[in-house]
Amino acid sequence: MTGHEGEELRDIALHDEIELVGELIVAASTVDGPLSDREIDDALGVCATASARGVPKTSKG
């Protein structure tokens, strides 16, 4: 026994990266070829004009 039962170890940055990769995998599974830059931006929730700066979209619509 380690004395840490019930404690949860979390890496928020890693969790966020895994979610982003998951979004890309889902998006890639819906097309026959490579994703375009716009499709990648849409999957990751970034604006095309702000994507170069890494600014996330504020709404999806």
Give the model confidence (pLDDT) of 40-49 as tens digits.
Answer: 999 988 876 6
| First-to-final CA distance of the chain | 51
Q: For residue 59, is it within any domain? A: no
Q: Which two tokens stand for residue 48?
A: 């095309």
Provide the residue range defining the domain that includes 18: 12-53
Q: For residue 32, is it within any domain? A: yes
Closest C-alpha among 44, 38, 5 to residue 24: 44
Average pLDDT for 36-58 = 74
This model's pTM is above 0.85? no
Q: For residue 60, is it within any domain? A: no
pLDDT digits (tens, 9 = 90+) for 2-30: 566 666 768 898 999 999 999 999 999 99
- Residue 33 has what DSSP assignment? S
Q: Which two tokens stand for residue 55?
A: 């600014």
pLDDT at 47: 79
